[in-house]
Structure 1
Amino acid sequence: MTAVLLFSPHADDVVLSCFHALGPGSEVVTVFAGVPDDPGLLAPWDERLGARSSREFALERLHEDAAAYAGTGVLLDAWRHLDGQYRPGPPDTDALRAAMRERIARAGEVWLPAAIRDHPDHVLVRDTGLAACHDLARAAPPPRVRLYAEYPYQLFQMSNRHRAAGTYEGFTWHNRDAIALTEWFEERFAGSPATPGPPRLSVLSADAVAAKERAVRCHRTQVTELDRQVNGTLLDPGNLSREYWWALTTTRGADEDRFAAPDTDAPARRN
């Protein structure tokens, strides 16, 4: 039985977004860790980051992922599904759902990306994971389900809210506007029977922030560009220390109930 199982669409998502949930014995599945066969392939994002071959770049990201968890006691499982930029066609959602269901069935608590900013790979992991949880809920008590707000995508969500409201002259790059995430959740899940609430906030200690920064820096192929996109604030300690998430209650019933209501009694975590 796995106490805590976390699904990371790409190699850096969990360490960036829900570091507080990691601990010895927890397991991280990096879903889209597959390596393309074609040595001549160069996908647009990889080219932007200075790669000469996506195959070589994907292999390097596997090493970065392993380095980020080295010595932490966290178990890492890199699945061989291809990143969206490498896939020649639509993903095999049935195979992914079956694989996620098998792993989730052995977990006490499951973390899925919320898919802030609607990255297709993140949406796929979120929706497939929730569907797998719903499958399991029909036959047995399901695990606790958490959705984590992805960092630094949440900074874009917060900055866009400030700009649209005319609160600031331009974009602001701080991680303190939970209202922006609440509004996003209410809009995204408006068609579900859930009654969305504000996200939970976990605040990391100074030591945990330092450990998180070390783990994030292991993803050296990504850090420079991500930092540029958020105006040099990616590794700001105040931003790194604040992690947002929603606690869901998986329900039995029809398929339309698979997006479950937040568990408003879940305590905030502090690391």
Structure 2
Amino acid sequence: MLSFVPFIFVLNFIGPLSALQDNDSSICLLTDAPNQCGAFCLSALHPLIDDNFHSQVKLDRIEQGVESLKNASEGHFGSVNSQIKNEFQSLLTKMEISMLIDGQLLEVYKKLEARLNGTEGQLRMFESKMEAQLLELKNQLSAFQKTLLEIPSTIYYKIKYPKFELIGSRYFYIEHYIKKTWDEAAETCREMGGYLAAFENPEELTAVMSKFFRWSYWTGIKRLKEDGEYISTASGKPATVFKAPFSFGGSDIGGPCVLLRGVGMFEFPCNDEKYFICQSDNET
């Protein structure tokens, strides 16, 4: 930097010197410029040298500061970069762990879902079985309640009508050993708490006849003299169930009492002695 200053000064000095050469009256020839102008040049350049020195010192300081700042920045950015790398690596690790956990959770979820579906199926089967068992229990309970309701009635009939037996849905007594006239048989049934029997339906008639081991039995069916209608003497209602064949309309041998035989129903003289059938109620 200092090597250019004397050159600039010499150029500046030569310029005025050439001007003096044009003026013959004021020519000053330098024969030994370094010796003749050294002191002057040094004194003139001294401020520039000082400024250059100070500038160089400042420049060195600036370079040192920049270098220091650069080193500090590199250290800081290196630290930040390392921290970012560490955090990024930690984040990646967490993500990997999270993905692993998610995968495990998904697998667990699938297993639980499969087990849940299986459990639901088992529950539905169990519910179906329980419903079937409950229905069966209800039916058994209903039958048991019906039996309980029938027990008092059975006991009642057994106490009140000890000789009567349940045939179908009603109680009957069939006298197989003592013969009586129709009126005597009716009186005997009344003494037992019942009536000479009529029948609700053909099935009941068939069930009663299945108990027979005699030839003929008096029934509670009788023909009215006024209009010839056959009624049940127990209820006073028209008789509707007969055993075919049936001899209607009175007969030469008497009537109007109806006799039940294995081969049909017949009018017969009421004073004839026969076995007989009683019923406990007066509904039919």
**Fold conserved (TM > 0.5)?**
no
The TM tier, using the shorter chain, reads under 0.3
TM-score between both structures, scaled by the size of structure 1? 0.23
TM-score between both structures, scaled by the size of structure 2? 0.22
Instruction: Write 1 or 2 for the structure with the bigger share of helix.
Output: 2
